């Protein structure tokens, strides 16, 4: 597998969350998606939900949240559960800090991806500048809803998961995305229009669930949060084993 392919799949999980987290242009009302389920009587339509969702994102400068990651893997009997803290500062500083059960850090800053596994004294530092722009377009980072629809069909689930939540289904349209992703589902809070849960289904049957709580928007985040100082003796590699697929290093 070449370097670009090995990066696109692991980064899908990070990028797809940011499709729902990054601000879009003010006043951008997305067009209806083909195959969208009609809204139930009295319930908002997909157009209305996406329009309000876009407006809610416009003013976001920073975001922090606690997350729980649950991986259902075909090769394991029990799911793998991890917890940690997530940070985002506009336009593209992204940090996933895993704390339980194993400490690890994934940082995207400028044109670099850094993965650090303290207990293994190992790190992976990868330059993503050559294909970052296309990667972000494929997965919707910083793009308008219309751009996202070039790669996914968007629809509301016929039955919503719980009162006060909307279940948004993203189905890949492009072959490049379909090769790894079968479907993505966002649970969006009906008051804040922020994602509270995301399910990421791979073509091989594996599934990753991300749940978020204690979400704070536009709170101050120290710039030093995104500086990872690697201690002496850490083995630094230039390949990335991955986080999105659940098959990488733990």
Give domain status of residue 180, yes or no: yes
Give domain status of residue 219, yes or no: yes
* Mean pLDDT for all residues in the chain: 77
The residue ranges of DSSP E strands in the chain, in sequence order, are 62-72, 80-89, 93-100, 104-109, 112-117, 122-127, 152-156, 165-172, 181-189, 195-202, 207-217, 235-237
Give domain status of residue 243, yes or no: no
190-200 tens-digit pLDDT: 988 888 898 98
- Is pLDDT of 20 > 50? no
User: How many CB atoms sit inside 10 A of residue 225's CB?
Assistant: 16
Tokens 């242009």 -> residue: 25
Give domain status of residue 171, yes or no: yes
Tokens 């492009």 -> residue: 174
Give the helix ranges, DSSP H, for 101-149.
132-139, 145-148
Q: State how far the Cα of 49 lies from the Cα of 166, in Å rounded to an integer.
A: 8
Q: Give pLDDT, residue 141.
A: 41
Q: Give pLDDT, residue 50.
A: 85
> Of all residues in the chain, what percent carry a pLDDT higher than 70?
72
Please indicate whether residue 145 or residue 180 has the higher confidence score (pLDDT). 180
**Number of independent structural domains in the chain:** 1
Give domain status of residue 226, yes or no: yes
In contact, 106 and 89? CB cutoff 8 Å: no
- Is pLDDT of 74 > 50? yes
- Is pLDDT of 31 > 60? no
Give domain status of residue 18, yes or no: yes
Residues in the chain: 250
Q: Nearest Cα to 167, choosing from 1, 36, 11?
A: 36
Instruction: Give 140's pLDDT tier (boundaries 50, 70, 90).
Output: very low
- Please list, in sequence order, all residues whose beta carbon lies within 8 angstroms of the beta carbon of residue 106, skipping any fewer than 6 positions away: 14, 95, 96, 98, 113, 114, 115, 116, 243
- Please list, in sequence order, all residues whose beta carbon lies within 8 angstroms of the beta carbon of residue 147, skipping any fewer than 6 positions away: 137, 140
Bridge partners (DSSP) of residue 122 are 117, 235
146-195 tens-digit pLDDT: 666 777 899 999 888 899 999 989 999 888 778 888 998 989 899 888 88
Q: Give pLDDT, residue 153.
A: 92
Domain carrying residue 19: 3-29+39-237
Find the mean pLDDT for residues 77-99.
90
DSSP secondary structure letters along 157-184: -SS-SSTTEEEEEEEE-SHHHHTTEEEE
Find the mean pLDDT for residues 124-130.
84
Q: State how far the Cα of 166 lies from the Cα of 3, in Å rounded to an integer.
A: 36
Give domain status of residue 244, yes or no: no
Give domain status of residue 249, yes or no: no
CATH number of residue 87's parent domain: 2.50.20.10
Q: Nearest Cα to 110, choosing from 126, 129, 125, 96?
A: 129
Tokens 């349209």 -> residue: 173
């Amino acid at each position: 597998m070449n370097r670009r392919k090995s990066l696109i799949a692991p980064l899908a999980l990070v990028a797809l969350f940011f499709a729902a987290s990054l601000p879009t242009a003010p006043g951008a009302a997305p067009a209806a998606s083909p195959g969208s389920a009609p809204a139930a009587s009295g319930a908002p339509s997909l157009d209305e939900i996406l329009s309000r969702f876009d407006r809610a994102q416009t003013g976001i400068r920073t975001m922090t949240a606690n997350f729980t990651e649950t991986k259902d893997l075909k090769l394991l009997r029990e799911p793998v559960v991890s917890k940690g803290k997530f940070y985002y500062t506009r336009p593209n500083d992204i940090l996933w800090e895993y704390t339980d059960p194993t400490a690890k850090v994934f940082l995207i800053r400028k044109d670099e991806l850094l993965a650090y596994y303290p207990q293994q004294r190992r790190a992976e530092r990868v330059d993503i500048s050559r294909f970052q722009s296309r990667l972000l377009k494929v997965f919707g980072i910083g793009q308008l809803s219309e751009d996202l629809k070039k790669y996914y069909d968007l629809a509301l689930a016929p039955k919503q998961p719980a009162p006060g939540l909307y279940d948004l289904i993203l189905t890949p349209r492009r072959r490049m995305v379909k090769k790894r992703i079968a479907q993505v589902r966002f649970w969006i809070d009906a008051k804040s229009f922020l994602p509270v849960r995301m399910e990421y289904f791979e073509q091989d049957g594996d599934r990753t669930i991300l749940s978020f709580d204690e979400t704070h928007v536009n709170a101050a985040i120290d710039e030093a949060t995104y500086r990872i100082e690697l201690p002496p003796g850490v083995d630094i590699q230039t390949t990335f084993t991955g986080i999105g697929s659940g098959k990488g290093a733990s």
